[in-house]
Amino acid sequence: NAGVTQTPKFQVLKTGQSMTLQCAQDMNHEYMSWYRQDPGMGLRLIHYSVGAGITDQGEVPNGYNVSRSTTEDFPLRLLSAAPSQTSVYFCASSYLFLGGGTTGKRYNEQFFGPGTRLTVL
Amino acid sequence: GNSVTQMEGPVTLSEEAFLTINCTYTATGYPSLFWYVQYPGEGLQLLLKATKADDKGSNKGFEATYRKETTSFHLEKGSVQVSDSAVYFCALRNQAGTALIFGKGTTLSVSS
């Protein structure tokens, strides 16, 4: 298994440009998510999806769009890049948490991709 | 709301020293708690987890115990190695299971 893959690894954009960060997983995970990591801020959730056709907002969704047309892919779109979106972006996936009584590692661990470092000038 | 507070870094230790990284949380109910590690230039990897009070998670010599009474999940290791140098994140999963809430991370630097 390749696990969670992200492309590109690095990207430089000018203010106002648009782009899509790609994320794919081959573990048949229902849940996928995007986080951004900023110095001194930890990781913050941007958007997430609990299955194909279902997406929802996280803590910092403004300026980003997502869609989930397949189980495997979860792209993140920046519609009009701003310097405040300079960050490292991580995609993650997991089996869906099923709630009380569920045991086993498969229902607890999120797998992270290697990240995309984005700079907006 | 949910939040995680962990000690500020950087933490600088000599090889074979004892490590403690403090983590406390605020949450409704009884969230699952995690420690993730990020090595330079890489994504996050799950280090250990605990899903209920008094559970002890352990992996690679690291341990953390879920303390409901103090709402804490401190990370410990008895003897650190240079290869443990990384950023460590404490996190909790929200009740709906839809998000991980992370602390700000603690950078550990171990010298030989």
pLDDT bin (cut points 50, 70, 90) of residue A95 is confident
Beta strands in chain A (DSSP E): 4-7, 10-13, 19-25, 31-38, 42-51, 54-57, 64-66, 76-78, 87-94, 111-112, 116-120
- Enumerate residues 6+ apart whose C-beta is below 8 A from B24: B4, B5, B6, B70, B71, B72, B73
Residues 6-35, chain A: which have Cβ within 8 Å of B? 31, 33, 35
Average pLDDT over residues A20-36: 95
Q: Is the pLDDT of residue A101 over 70?
A: no
Question: What is the rounded CA–CA span in Å between residue A49 and residue A33?
Answer: 6
Residue-level pLDDT at A97: 65
Q: For residue B35, which of B19, B23, B27, B26 has the smallest C-alpha distance?
A: B23
Distance CA A65, CA A77 (A): 5
CA of B104, closest CA in chain A: separation in Å? Answer: 4
Which of the residue ranges A13-17, A115-119, B51-55 would you say has the lowest mean pLDDT?
A: B51-55
| pLDDT of A104 | 43
Decide: A65 and A18 in contact? Cβ < 8 Å: no
Q: Name the residue among B86, B93, B82, B89 with its Cα closest to residue B108.
A: B86
A116: which 2 tokens?
A: 């995309």
Angstrom CA distances, A26 to A30, A70, A71, stand at 11, 11, 9
- What's the whole-number mean pLDDT along residues B74-96? 94
What pLDDT score does A106 carry?
Answer: 39
Q: Are B2 and B101 in contact (CB under 8 A)?
A: yes
- Residues of chain B positioned with their CB less than 8 A from the CB of A4: 43
A90, A115 contact by CB (below 8 A): yes
The alpha carbon of residue A31 is apart from the nearest alpha carbon of chain B, in Å, by 8
Mean pLDDT of A107-117: 85
Which residues in chain A are contacts of B105 at CB distance < 8 A?
42
Within 8 A of B43 by CB-CB distance, chain A residues are 4, 90, 112-115
For tokens 């913050």, what's the residue?
A44
Tokens describing residue A110: 């999120």
* Residue B83, φ and ψ in degrees, nearest 5: -70, -10
Q: In which order are the strands placed within the sheet that holds B56-59?
A: B19-21, B75-77, B62-65, B56-59
pLDDT value of residue B64: 98
